């Protein structure tokens, strides 16, 4: 922040650019172009308070029915509803979002997580990617939530959809998985026809994100420190992920693991009929907080018994100990 402040004019601290400082939008554009293949014109970028604000602002600017993945990120579903949109639900399978089902519903916009589906962790397959891009005819829009694409372990990175169809895709990203959710730093790259509307929505929401944060983040990006941080974290999270996989196969061998190739979480599914509420209750008694899959489903009661397991913020020994205790809690329930 100190380095950034040394280079900035005091005029940048007025109510000048609700969509973000020029320097910060340029730094984000360079980064997205280089790492995600995004067609990132800084004039099309709106900096915002995380992916969550991006979804809220877009909800205020879009017309027509909107669909999201089922299961999907429960918070985004709530944000959409809070902004007057009741999303249609499109199922997800092991290839990602079901594009036939998307076509069959009336939606003109879809919110999707192609690089690492939230929550299942599956990656949108190449054929589905093509189908989804074909779905995005004029008048239709894909909102690509690229929330954790920086982390990829067992396969080559796949570029953002936006890079192929920049006029049909809104690209969303944030620092919540790479630095910390509490920073509330995020961005959108918009098709030309949405720029004015989304800028106005951002301006009316809060007149712009904190200039201090934008200065610090753009300094972090342009100095190369963000790249160094990501390289270091990739190695660390790979070890943590491997520790989690090893512990799961040892202590919960009947749990099916999904989505381990990327991101900072994976999901496990238990055999049908497994009493996930009872496991969650027993785990709580052991002071282990679990996140079941249920709330991510439009109809939580129909969710398969499963858990979302984040591993980025735990040491390898905490992971090993936690899963061992989970295995003990699951004893007699049909998963161990
Ligand atoms: C699917 C998805 N998108 C985006 C985010 C990040 O949201 P934000 O940038 O508002 O913290 C998360 C965080 O958990 C997420 O799961």
d(CA 77, CA 296): 9
Instruction: State the Cα angle at 180 between 206 and 220, rounded to 5°.
Output: 85
Beta pairing class for 265-269 and 291-292: unpaired
Identify the band that residue 266 occupies on the pLDDT scale cut at 50, 70 and 90.
very high
Inter-residue contact 21 to 218 (CB < 8 Å): yes
**CA 71 to centroid of ligand 1, rounded, Å:** 14
Atom of ligand 1 nearest to the CA of 54: 10
Q: Is the CB of 220 under 6 A from ligand 1?
A: no
User: In this predicted model, what pLDDT tens digit does every residue of 140-194 receive, in sequence order?
Assistant: 999 999 999 899 998 777 899 999 999 999 999 999 999 999 999 999 999 999 9
Q: What is the pLDDT of residue 335?
A: 58
CB 297 near ligand 1, within 6 Å: no
Work out whether strand 66-70 and strand 88-93 pair parallel, antiparallel, or are unpaired.
parallel
Structure confidence at residue 217 (pLDDT): 97
Residues 249, 242 contacting (CB under 8 angstroms) = no
State in Å: Cα 93 to ligand 1 middle: 21
pTM: 0.96
219 C-beta closer than 6 A to ligand 1: no
- Per-residue pLDDT tens for 209-249? 999 999 999 999 999 999 999 999 999 999 999 999 999 99
| Burial (CB count within 10 angstroms: exposed 0-12, middle 13-18, buried 19+), residue 75 | middle
Condensed to tens digits (0 to 9), the pLDDT of residues 84-129 reads 999 999 999 999 999 999 999 999 999 999 999 999 999 999 999 9
Dig out the tokens for 252 from the structure.
Answer: 């919960």
């Amino acid at each position: 922040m100190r380095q950034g402040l040394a280079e900035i004019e005091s005029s940048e601290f007025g109510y000048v650019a609700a969509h973000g400082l020029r320097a910060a939008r340029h730094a984000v554009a360079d980064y997205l172009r280089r790492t995600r293949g995004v067609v990132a014109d800084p004039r099309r970028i709106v900096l915002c308070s995380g992916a969550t604000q991006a979804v809220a602002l877009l909800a205020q600017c879009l017309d027509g029915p909107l669909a999201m993945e089922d299961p999907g990120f429960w918070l985004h579903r709530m944000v959409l509803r809070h902004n007057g949109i009741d999303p249609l639900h499109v199922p997800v399978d092991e290839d990602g979002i079901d594009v036939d089902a998307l076509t069959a519903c009336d939606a003109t916009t879809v919110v999707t997580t192609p690089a690492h589906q939230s929550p299942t962790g599956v990656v949108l397959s190449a054929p589905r990617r093509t189908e989804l891009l074909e779905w995005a005819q004029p008048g239709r829009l894909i909102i690509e939530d690229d929330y954790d694409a920086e982390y990829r372990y067992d396969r080559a990175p796949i570029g953002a959809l936006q890079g192929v169809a920049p006029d049909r895709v809104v690209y969303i990203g944030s620092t919540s998985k790479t630095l910390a959710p509490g920073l509330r730093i995020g961005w959108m790259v918009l098709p030309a026809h949405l720029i004015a509307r989304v800028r106005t929505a951002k301006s009316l929401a809060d007149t712009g994100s904190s200039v201090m944060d934008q200065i610090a983040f753009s300094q972090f990006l342009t100095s190369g420190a963000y790249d160094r941080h990501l390289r270091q974290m990739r190695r660390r999270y790979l070890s943590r992920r491997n520790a989690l996989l090893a512990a799961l196969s040892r202590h919960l061998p009947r749990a099916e693991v999904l989505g381990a190739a990327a991101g900072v979480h994976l999901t496990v599914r238990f055999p049908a009929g497994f009493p996930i509420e009872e496991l969650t209750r027993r785990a709580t008694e052991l002071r282990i907080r679990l996140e079941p899959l249920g709330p991510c489903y439009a109809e939580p009661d129909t969710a398969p018994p499963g858990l979302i397991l984040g591993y980025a913020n735990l040491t390898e020994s905490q992971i090993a100990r936690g899963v061992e205790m989970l295995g003990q809690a699951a004893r007699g329930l049909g998963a161990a």
